[in-house]
Amino acid sequence: MAQFDRNDDSVVVIVGSGAGGGTLGTDLARRGINTVILEAGARYEIEDFVNDEWASFGQLAWTDARTTSGTWRVHRNFPNLPAWIVKAVGGTSIHWAGASLRLQEHEFRTRSVYGGLGGANLLDWPITLAEMEPWYAKAEDRMGTTRTNNIPGLPGNNNFKVLEAGARKIGYKEVNTGRMSINSEPRDGRGACQQIGFCFQGCKSGAKWSTLYAEIPKGEATGKLEVREQCQVLHIEHDARGLVTGVVYADKDGALQRQKARVVAVAGNSLESPRLLLNSASSMFPDGLANSSGQVGRNYMRHTTGSVYAIFDKPVHMYRGTTMAGVVRDEAVNDSSRGFVGGYELETLSLGFAFTAAFLDPGAWGRSFTSALDSYDHMAGLWIVGEDMPQETNRVTLDPVVRDRFGMPVASVHFDDHANDLAMRAHAYDRGRAIYEAVGAVRTFPTPPYPSTHNLGTNRMSEKPRDGVVNKWGQTHDIRNLFIADGSQFTTGGAENPTLTIVALATRQADTIAGMMARKEI
Amino acid sequence: MRQSERASTGPGARLDRREFLKAGAAAAAIAVSGSALIHAGEAWGLEVRTLQPATVRTLILMARDIYPHDRLADKYYAIAIKPWDIKAAQDAATRTMLEDGVATLDGFAKARHRQPYVDVAWEADRVVLLRHIQDGAFFETVRSGLIVSLYNQHEIWPLFGYEGESAAKGGYIHRGFNDLEWL
């Protein structure tokens, strides 16, 4: 395994090892480029994962302090947990459920299609679906996405059976077990899904794609990739020309280290990536790195989410098998006659008993709440994933008071739902209820959004430097050897789970960075 | 998950076996006897070290009234509340918060029913009393702690039809992931 000198200024440094950083690092290494991934979290392997929601949360989740504000309910119920994401090698690709849907054509040009919407800071992506299609194809192949590349779909579990029957009964057509990056048959050295049911806690069979075991080991095997765990980057340094020169990080013993670099790519998720850029302010860049537009940290999106759980008079056992076992796509279209722009997916979701208690209706108590839990094994559930509107005021800033153990200001997340988000969520709750009532639900619940798993948009991609932070290659407009490689590049969020697009962008970015390095442009 | 939910009680809090005292038959659900609580019906006892035993008894009933599950024995609520006695021993502010909170609740109970909370016979009446304090820090601290200390007791999961750990059993691929036939 490679080990690079901290004074080696020829390496590419990547901050974060999730879907974006882990993919980018692996691809750069395969192209012969010396790469160091600095990961704030520790390295766990498949055998370390536990089928126990709270124990796993304690093991994997980012529980370092963050603060929140705004009218979103997450602020009220989980004021220090705006996001449910992972701090470990592999990042949130350990926790994700596997849904791998391409963004739709119109979702790359929402400003043109949706028009000016009051309060929304909509912008067209500087790339199109046509440009992304080959990269989506590569991503689906490397991730083993079902229903692509002749890979069969996964079998539906009980939770899906209920969703499918209800959805068809009310007239939905596009209902299936989804495009999932979970092996339905052995592929790429990993086995087939065993329907274990703890997808969020790290896949114990390795059937689900994660950079932890499906990418990073391949990168390491080239001898060109070094992953340093428990190394939290505190700021990025630059020279008098305004080019980045390396990063300062706290290592696993808390000692400060400097890793020099030829190129830096930031992939710490949409909360940590803007935090790092803002915390790297200098006299040359007083508002933070790559922030001449003032857009770093702004336009934070989290998808318009929510869940509908339903109780039946007969057993369901929704927790058996894949957590996200199927999808209804009929509402994913843009049809403003529904009273909102953009669309949403309905995907099965289940929580174990402990997390159902925590998330079904946070803060609730009494018999209305407990009688629902009494019917836990008769419950089915779905999750709404809809496009939310980018708003300049929804943003990640540095908390003025709270600092982490290294003295770095923590991320403070402000979020208010846009009127379009509220209208979409109400519509989706209603359709979710209709699905379940069509097959005999005796009681349904609108469950509020969980702490965010889809964190997007805080370093968004734009054609013009004044509108965003990075260009169509994820390269910052201001600093040519500084890149963003995670979901914070998203110009808008689309209605689809973001991981496939993150991987496709990272795969494409590796090609771009390698070419720029070969041409000595960076 | 708030820090308080995670840190105050923590998953898997258990009553030590030695702290369950053998109890003889008696009528009342939970009786205070010296520094212990005795549940004759369920044949267990709980040694209380820092808080007043009556306070813990009130908290146990309060736990049931907040999250009432008729299928759960009192011992699960006692297990859920016991960590507060340990926390109170480590932290004077927690001890004060709990003692004062129960005293306030008892004050409401006495004003309305002329008896402390645990002696108010009907659940519906006790729930009305809890609604008086539900926006305060005491209630919220106790309630949010229960989310983990009650519902993360693995022993109660089978009572709700939840099967817990699955990978070691080979997942559900041969154990009913798609056995639903009633649709």
Which of B5, B6, B66 is facing A365, going by the closest CB pair?
A: B66
Using an 8 Å CB-CB cutoff, list chain B residues near A354.
11, 148, 151-152
Is B148 in Cβ contact with A358 (below 8 Å)?
Answer: yes
Among residues 57-96 of chain B, which lie with CB inside 8 Å of chain A?
Answer: 66-69, 71
Which of B148, B151, B166 is facing A198, going by the closest CB pair?
A: B166
Which residues have CB under 8 Å from A166's CB, separation 6+? Answer: A434, A435, A436, A437, A438, A439
How distant is the Cα of A444 from the closest Cα of chain B, in angstroms? 17
For residue B102, what is the enclosing H or E element? helix B92-113
pLDDT of residue A196: 98
Which residues have CB under 8 Å from A29's CB, separation 6+? Answer: A35, A219, A220, A222, A224, A225
Using an 8 Å CB-CB cutoff, list chain B residues near A373.
69, 151, 160
How far apart, in whole angstroms, are the C-alpha atoms of residue B32 and residue B39?
Answer: 9
Phi, psi (deg, nearest 5) at residue A321? 90, -175
Pairing of strands A409-414, A395-403: antiparallel
For tokens 């009220």, name the residue: A76
The per-residue b/e assignment along B7-24, b for 16 or more CB within 10 angstroms, e otherwise, is ebbbbebebeeeebeebe
pLDDT, one tens digit per residue, over B44-67 is 999 999 999 999 999 999 999 999
How far apart, in whole angstroms, are the C-alpha atoms of residue A350 and residue A242?
Answer: 48
Q: Is residue A49 predicted with pLDDT exceeding 70?
A: yes
Chain A interface, mutation test: which of B132, B178, B181, most A Cβ atoms within 10 Å? B178
Among residues 132-161 of chain A, which lie with CB inside 8 Å of chain B?
Answer: 155-158, 161
The per-residue b/e assignment along A321-340, b for 16 or more CB within 10 angstroms, e otherwise, is bbbbbbbbbbbbebeeebeb
Measured between CB atoms, does A357 come within 8 Å of chain B?
A: yes
Is A55 in Cβ contact with B167 (below 8 Å)?
Answer: no
- Among A411-415, B15-19, B117-121, the least confident range: B15-19
Tally of CB atoms within 10 A around A284: 11
How far apart, in whole angstroms, are the C-alpha atoms of residue A119 and residue A416?
Answer: 11
Using an 8 Å CB-CB cutoff, list chain B residues near A157.
172, 177-178
The per-residue b/e assignment along A4-33, b for 16 or more CB within 10 angstroms, e otherwise, is beeeeeebbbbbbbbbbbbbbbbbbbbbeb
pLDDT of residue A1: 80
Which of B69, B165, B167 is facing A370, going by the closest CB pair?
A: B69
DSSP A225-294: EEEESS-EEEEEEE-TTS-EEEEEEE-TTS-EEEEE-SEEEE-SHHHHHHHHHHHT--SSSTT-TT-TTS
pLDDT of residue B157: 98
Which of B148, B162, B178 is facing A54, going by the closest CB pair?
A: B148
Is B164 in Cβ contact with A79 (below 8 Å)?
Answer: no
Tally of CB atoms within 10 A around B157: 18
pLDDT, one tens digit per residue, over A440-480 is 999 999 999 999 999 999 999 999 999 999 999 999 999 99
Tally of CB atoms within 10 A around A446: 17
DSSP A444: E
pLDDT of residue A495: 98
pLDDT of residue B17: 43
Sheet holding A232-238, edge to edge: A232-238, A244-250, A256-260
Tally of CB atoms within 10 A around A318: 31
Phi, psi (deg, nearest 5) at residue A46? -55, -40
Cβ-contact A464, A472 below 8 angstroms: no
Pairing of strands B44-47, B36-39: antiparallel
Which of B148, B179, B183 is facing A165, going by the closest CB pair?
A: B183
pLDDT, one tens digit per residue, over A274-298 is 999 999 999 999 999 999 999 999 9
The residues with which A327 forms a beta bridge, in sequence order, are A176, A347
Is A161 in Cβ contact with B173 (below 8 Å)?
Answer: no
pLDDT of residue B29: 86
Cβ-contact B152, B11 below 8 angstroms: yes
Is B179 in Cβ contact with A158 (below 8 Å)?
Answer: yes
pLDDT tier at A482 (50, 70, 90 boundaries)? very high
Question: Coil, strand or helix: which one is A438?
Answer: helix
Measured between CB atoms, does B180 come within 8 Å of chain A?
A: yes
Is B68 in Cβ contact with A370 (below 8 Å)?
Answer: yes
How far apart, in whole angstroms, are the C-alpha atoms of residue A498 and residue A391?
Answer: 19
Q: Is residue B3 predicted with pLDDT exceeding 50?
A: no
Q: Please give the C-alpha separations between residue B153 and each of A58, A186, A251, A482, B64, in angstroms, as whole numbers.
A: 16, 36, 36, 48, 15
How distant is the Cα of B25 from the closest Cα of chain A, in angstroms? 30
Cβ-contact A46, A204 below 8 angstroms: yes
Whole-model pTM above 0.80? yes
pLDDT, one tens digit per residue, over A106-138 is 999 999 999 999 999 999 999 999 999 999 999
Q: Is residue B6 predicted with pLDDT exceeding 50?
A: no
DSSP B42-94: TTEEEE--SS-HHHHHHHHHHHHHHS--TTS-HHHHHHHHHHHHHHHHH-HHH
B155 φψ region: left (φ > 0), alpha (ψ -120 to 50), beta (else): alpha
The pair of structure tokens assigned to A187 is 């592929």
Q: Is residue A30 predicted with pLDDT exceeding 70?
A: yes
Q: Is residue B7 predicted with pLDDT exceeding 70?
A: no
- Cα of first residue to Cα of last residue in chain B, in angstroms, is 36
- Degrees to nearest 5, angle at CA A29 with A25 and A34: 95
How distant is the Cα of B90 from the closest Cα of chain A, in angstroms? 22
How far apart, in whole angstroms, are the C-alpha atoms of residue A253 and residue A234?
Answer: 14
pLDDT tier at B28 (50, 70, 90 boundaries)? low
Cβ-contact A247, A258 below 8 angstroms: yes
Q: What mean pLDDT do residues A62-70 have?
A: 97
